[in-house]
Every structure is written in C-alpha cells, then in structure tokens.
C-alpha cells in the first residue's frame, strides 16, 4: 500500500524544530504584552465575502490564491491573512466601545495557494499586531517600533525599515489618473495581470515582479510620476510627523516610493522591514494603516494600523535552537519506585523521565546523559537509606541527598 505523504506546500513542524517556534511565540507574547497588546484567536475559516471585501477583489490573493469551498450553500474560505478576521471580530464583539487604543496580537496558520518556495508555504504561519482607534502618526511610529523591537528580541539586528505614504483616497485618485496616462502607450506590453490592474487598481501596478513590467516602470517619465509628491497637505503632514517620531526614536529608515503592499485596504503609511542576517535582504515584516477597513466591513469609522510577519521566514533566519533537555532522568531498576519518584519530581515542577523498559543501570545512565541534565539514581543503598544520588551529567559531580534536598537543588 502506497504511503500517504504530506501535501505539497505544507510541512510538519517536527519536535527538533519546536524550540525555535516556541522561542518566536514566547517573545511575541513578551514584547507585544509590554505595549499593552492582548492576544486574540480567530477562526481559521471565514465567510468568503470577508476577504473579497476586506483584502480586495483585485488582489492576487483573492483572485488566485484563496482556498474556498462550499458548505450548506455557503461560500467559506481558509484565511489567507488575519487582518480581515481580526477586524470582523473587533466589529462583531463591539470593541469600538473600549477606550482607544485597542491593541490586539495574534499568531497562527494562514493559507494561500501559490508556488511553494523557501520560506513560503501554502499553509504558513504569521504573527501580527493590529491597533485600533488612533488616527495620529504616533500610533504608526509605535507599531513600527513594536515590530523592530520584536525582531531585535529574536536576535535579528541588521534591519532595514522602508516606509511610504499612499495618501488618502482623494489624493490617491489624482496619482492613479496621472499613472494611467503615462502608462497608456505601454499598456499592450504589460503582463496580463498588470493590464487588469491598470483598469481596476492602478496602484497595484507598482507591486508587479515581472521583469518586463519593472523595466517599463523604471522609465524616466513613469518614475517622474512615481517619485512625485502627490499626497495632499494632511497626508504629507501625517507622513512628516511619522518621520519625526522615527528620527526621535533612533529608528533608521528609508523612503521607498514603489512600496505599495499587496492588499487593497492600505492608506497613508505603509512599511516593510527587511533583515540582512543571511547576507541577502529578506523581507520579514509588512504592514500599514487601513483607516477605512472597519467601516467597509460594516463597523464604525475607526482608524487602524498593523503588521504581520511570516514565521517560517523568521525560522529560516534564526536557524536551529538547541532542544531543551529534561531536568532529571530517574535511574532505577525497581519499576514501581521509579514511577513514584518520577511523579514526585513532576509534581514539584521538574521535568523527568525514567526507563519504561527497565534496562540495566549502565544503559539507563547512557540514556540519561543524552536526554537530561541530571541523573537521579535510586539503587539498593539509596532505597534502604531513603536518599537519592544526584549526578550532574555535564560535570559528573554527584552527591547523595535526601529527597527534599534533591528536589530543591533540581528546582
């Protein structure tokens, strides 16, 4: 009978991989909690309409990459990203009534049907933050600072922060019109996706990765439009204030006019963080402001900003972490006594194992040296005296102690 294998674009996260995943998750809780963010967990599938309206029906995600299925005449979709789901929960649970800002963070699996590559899977994991209720650029700066400090807490210090302003819907319309005018002579040369974007969402043209399209967008007359300061006075003031905050916080950044992000809901501030830890640039974080999304999905008019990071990509950058050894391994040939001692250690908060197959002492000690920091030896002499021998498996130092002393030392 043929073996059933893991599906293309998915991966098992094996026990030897878990230390780095636990490290990322624990740091997320530690750092984001310091900023007052509370964890939220939303369902893995939602109504398809949520992503069509939220993410945008002109995006590659909605057009090409969603896992959508019908159940009881309802169209459901495995979440391709989590901002729309968090916004849906924010609205449904009346969180707009809480005092602003409302800061939420999440971690969990997302699903996109795309060509698998290094650090990018069809089932992948993200950790992210969403902040609701503050329109001022101080929130933008704090969210970027939160992302930078999380990455630094993981040990990723060689970071580049890129920022841009997409403006508001009003000033963006002027930019879109000018962009379409300058690109009209080249329309037939653009890729099919860009030809569709030209009509539906011209801003997304700048996100295209096709080399022939990139060449057209690099032409001087197109660059003149892209590099122009098209944003209105209010948006420009917002962006300038953000830059002032980042300067005051000592966050190095650069302005990238081509940075538009791949989702329709962004406005004003967008940002991306890349890491140079592996020698070549790797985008590890993307985010931005989405002030109209809560209202567009049926809620109050609440401004918001957030970011997400791909955990598989972070795991590649961080490499393997040493697997944490057990604290204690009980070495004993009397099985009932071994069971009792192991349980006594566990009830005192000490991780412990014993040999379930009752091998010889020397074999048990060999196993202990591979899996634990200490061997807790319970031989005939120790059972008569009521003591145990505690052996440090790194230094080979050993002492005979009563059980209470041994437990205190292991703690």
User: Is the domain of 267 the same as that of 346?
Assistant: no
For residues 96 and 89, the answer to whether their CB atoms sit within 8 Å is no
Task: Look at residue 291 and tell me if it is in a domain.
Answer: yes
Q: What domain count does the chain have?
A: 2
Tell me if 262 is assigned to some domain. yes
235 and 90 fall within a common domain: yes
Is residue 107 domain-resident? Answer: yes
Q: How far apart are CA 168 and CA 48, in angstroms?
A: 27
Same domain, 274 and 153: yes
Residues 302 and 344 in one domain: no
Looking at 283, 318, 353, the residue that finishes a domain is 318
Full domain range(s) for residue 387: 326-410
Query: Which has the closest alpha carbon to 277: 391, 155, 113, 401?
Result: 155
Are 135 and 32 in a shared domain?
yes
Tell whether the torsion through CA atoms of 212, 213, 214 and 215 is positive or negative.
Answer: positive
192 is a domain residue: no
**What CATH code is carried by the domain that includes residue 81?**
3.30.930.10
Q: Of 269, 298, 318, which closes a domain?
A: 318
Q: Are residues 243 and 307 in the same domain?
A: yes
Based on the domain organization, do 155 and 37 belong to the same domain? yes
- Domain harbouring 345, CATH code: 3.40.50.800
Contacts 24+ apart (CB under 8 A), 65-70: 65/112, 65/113, 65/114, 66/111, 66/112, 66/113, 67/111, 67/112, 67/113
């202990």: which residue's tokens?
Answer: 368
Distances (CA, A) of 45 to 42, 59, 86, 110: 9, 19, 12, 9
Ranges of beta strands (E only) in 36-82 are 38-39, 45-47, 68-71, 74-78
Residues 330 and 313 in one domain: no
CA 205 to chain centre: 26
- How many Cβ atoms sit within 10 Å of the Cβ of residue 349? 10
pLDDT in 10s for each residue of the chain, 411 residues: 889 998 988 899 998 899 999 999 999 999 999 999 999 999 999 999 898 887 766 566 666 788 888 988 899 999 999 999 999 999 999 999 999 999 999 999 999 987 766 657 899 999 999 999 999 999 999 999 999 999 999 998 889 999 999 888 888 788 888 878 887 887 788 888 887 877 777 777 777 778 888 888 888 887 877 777 788 899 999 999 999 999 999 999 999 887 876 666 788 999 999 987 755 557 899 999 999 999 999 999 999 999 999 999 899 888 877 778 899 999 998 899 999 999 999 999 999 999 998 888 889 889 989 999 999 999 888 888 888 889 998 998 988 888 888 888 888
């Amino acid at each position: 009978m043929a073996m059933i294998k893991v599906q293309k674009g998915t991966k098992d996260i094996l026990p030897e991989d878990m230390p780095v995943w636990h490290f990322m998750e624990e740091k997320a809780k530690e750092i984001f909690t310091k900023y007052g963010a509370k964890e939220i967990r939303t369902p893995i599938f939602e109504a398809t309409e949520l992503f069509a309206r939220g993410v945008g029906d002109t995006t590659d995600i909605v057009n090409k990459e969603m896992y959508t299925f019908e159940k009881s005449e309802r169209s459901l979709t495995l979440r391709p990203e989590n901002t729309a789901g968090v916004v849906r929960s924010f609205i449904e649970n009346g969180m707009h009534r809480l005092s602003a800002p409302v800061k939420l963070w999440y971690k969990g699996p997302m699903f996109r049907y795309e060509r698998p590559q290094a650090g990018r899977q069809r089932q992948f994991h993200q950790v992210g933050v969403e902040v609701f209720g503050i329109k001022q650029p101080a929130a933008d700066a704090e969210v970027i600072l939160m992302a930078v400090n999380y990455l630094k807490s993981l040990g990723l210090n060689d970071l580049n922060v890129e920022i841009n302003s997409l403006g508001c819907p009003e000033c963006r319309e002027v930019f879109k019109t000018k962009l379409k005018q300058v690109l009209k002579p080249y329309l037939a040369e653009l890729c099919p996706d860009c030809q569709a974007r030209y009509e539906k969402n011209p801003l997304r043209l700048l996100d295209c990765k096709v080399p022939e399209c990139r060449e057209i967008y690099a032409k001087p007359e197109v660059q003149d439009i892209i590099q122009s300061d098209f944003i209105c006075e209010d948006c420009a003031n917002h962006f300038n204030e953000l830059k002032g905050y980042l300067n005051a916080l000592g966050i190095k950044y650069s302005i990238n006019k081509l940075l538009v992000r791949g989702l329709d809901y962004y406005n004003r501030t967008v940002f991306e963080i890349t890491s140079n830890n592996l020698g070549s640039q790797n985008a590890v974080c993307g985010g931005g402001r989405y002030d109209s999304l809560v209202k567009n999905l049926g809620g109050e008019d609440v401004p918001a900003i957030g970011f997400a990071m791909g955990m598989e990509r972070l795991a590649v950058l961080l490499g393997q972490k040493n697997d944490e050894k057990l604290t204690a391994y009980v070495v004993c040939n009397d099985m009932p006594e071994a069971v009792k001692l192991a349980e006594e250690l566990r009830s005192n908060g000490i991780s412990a194992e014993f040999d379930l197959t009752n091998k010889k002492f020397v074999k048990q000690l060999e196993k202990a040296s591979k899996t634990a920091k200490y061997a807790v030896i319970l031989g005939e002499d120790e059972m008569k005296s009521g003591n145990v021998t505690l052996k440090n498996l790194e230094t080979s130092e050993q002492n005979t102690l009563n059980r209470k002393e041994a437990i205190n030392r292991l703690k």
